Amino acid sequence: MTRTIVIGDVHGCYFELTALLDEIGVHWDDRLVFVGDLITKGPANREVLEFVRQSRNCESVLGNHEYLLLRHYRGEAVKLEPAHLQTIAELGKGFGDCMDWVSCLPHYVDLGDHLVVHAGVRPGCPLERQTVEDLTQLRTLDGTDPGSRKGTPWFERYRGDKIIIFGHWVFDAPLLRDNAIGIDTGCVYGGRLTAVVLPGDRLVSVPARRAYARKKG
Ligand SMILES: [Mn+2]
């Protein structure tokens, strides 16, 4: 049976990605969907991008870090952190080509019963009216800044039919609710890289070899 495997924020952790795919026993006809933030902060951004771009069964939604790099590439005055400059340097001459690829990434992938987004969905708002900031940065609902951590998490108010599978928000263990599954378990910070295997919502994870970045806040 064809499976769909949704994979949390990789952030350049190529070693852990291959360990996770081994652990799952990924087959050529499995469909792999990444929640975005494939790159930045980790040790092997180029390898992760090459893997996702070259594998026919891989696709990814846009993460906030790809989006920030894309805006920089387009000439917008965004504030880059050292991790972004490092990724740009690592990708070198291939950076532009990577950003052309990133510019084509979908903001969500609809799997029928499940919907994959990077960060979240604004409750009560139709999918076509969700902004790119909502889908790539949303955490809580009360602030004006979509990336704010103060107030009510979006998934506490979300009542939609589809189960949202998301990354972005780092949890010690996967967040499991009736209609939302959070799978960023902070691999790049020394946590774990987690996937959901569909059908069945089975969670599989592998530990990070080490911490590659320090978590903010
Ligand atoms: Mn992330």
The C-alpha angle with vertex 136 and arms to 131 and 141, in degrees rounded to 5, equals 70
Cα–ligand 1 centroid distance for 143 (angstroms):
20
Cα–ligand 1 centroid distance for 168 (angstroms):
4
Environment of ion ligand 1 (residues, CB < 5 A): 9, 37
148: pLDDT strictly greater than 80? no
Cα–ligand 1 centroid distance for 216 (angstroms):
12
Cα–ligand 1 centroid distance for 217 (angstroms):
14
* Sequence spans of domains, the chain: 4-110+172-207
Cα–ligand 1 centroid distance for 82 (angstroms):
15
Structure tokens at 98: 């990577």
Distance CA 118, CA 35 (A): 5
The listed CATH number (3.30.1950.10, 3.60.21.10, 2.30.30.40, 3.60.15.10) that belongs to domain 4-110+172-207: 3.60.21.10
Q: What pLDDT digit, counting tens, does each position of 46-98 carry?
A: 999 999 999 999 999 999 999 999 999 999 999 999 999 999 999 999 999 99
Cα–ligand 1 centroid distance for 40 (angstroms):
9
Cα–ligand 1 centroid distance for 41 (angstroms):
9
Torsion of CA 108, 109, 112, 114, to 10 degrees: -70
- Angle, helices 82-91/64-73, rounded to nearest 10 degrees: 70
Q: What pLDDT digit, counting tens, does each position of 175-198 carry?
A: 999 999 999 999 999 999 999 999
3-class DSSP assignment, residue 157: helix
Cα–ligand 1 centroid distance for 1 (angstroms):
30
Burial (CB count within 10 angstroms: exposed 0-12, middle 13-18, buried 19+), residue 210: exposed
From residue 17, give the alpha-carbon distance in Å to each of 47, 87, 91, 207. Answer: 10, 18, 19, 10
Residue 149's pLDDT band (cuts 50, 70, 90): confident
Cα–ligand 1 centroid distance for 9 (angstroms):
5
The average confidence (pLDDT) of the chain is: 95
Residue 150's pLDDT band (cuts 50, 70, 90): confident
Cα–ligand 1 centroid distance for 119 (angstroms):
9
Cα–ligand 1 centroid distance for 63 (angstroms):
7
Cα–ligand 1 centroid distance for 167 (angstroms):
7
pTM of this structure: 0.96
146: pLDDT strictly greater than 70? no
Distance CA 116, CA 58 (A): 14
Q: What is the sign, positive or negative, of the torsion defined by CA atoms of 182, 186, 191, 196?
A: positive
Given this model, what pLDDT does residue 118 score? 98
